[in-house]
């Protein structure tokens, strides 16, 4: 649910680093807006990190996209 919302809110961003930063900030503010969700994250954090449809795979995809955007194409040397 939260991950899908983050994907929708960052879909129009061209810079993967900006998309990651925006998702990270919004997730960090989650405790103020949705305290009950924060309690779940705090109680089940490590289980949720490994969950294949959670925030961790989405964050990893954002990080990989940012690295790929910064890495010069192999034929451009």
72: its two tokens: 């010069």
Could you give the CA distance from residue 55 to residue 2 in angstroms, rounded to a whole number? 8
Is the Cβ–Cβ distance between 31 and 38 less than 8 Å? Answer: yes
Instruction: Give the residue, 73 or 22, on which the prediction is more confident.
Output: 22
The HSE-up count of residue 7 (CA atoms within 13 Å, CB side) is: 13
- Over residues 47-64, the mean pLDDT reads 74
Q: Model confidence over 34-54: pLDDT tens digits?
A: 888 778 777 876 676 667 766
Cα end-to-end distance, the chain, whole Å: 42
Evaluate if residue 25 carries a pLDDT over 80.
Answer: yes
């Amino acid at each position: 649910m939260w991950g899908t919302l983050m994907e929708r809110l960052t879909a129009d961003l061209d810079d993967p680093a900006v998309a990651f930063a925006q998702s990270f900030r919004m997730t960090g503010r989650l405790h103020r807006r949705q305290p009950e969700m924060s309690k779940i994250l705090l109680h089940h954090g490590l289980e949720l990190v490994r969950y294949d449809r959670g925030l961790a795979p989405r964050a990893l995809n954002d990080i990989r996209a940012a690295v790929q955007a910064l890495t010069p194409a192999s034929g451009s040397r």
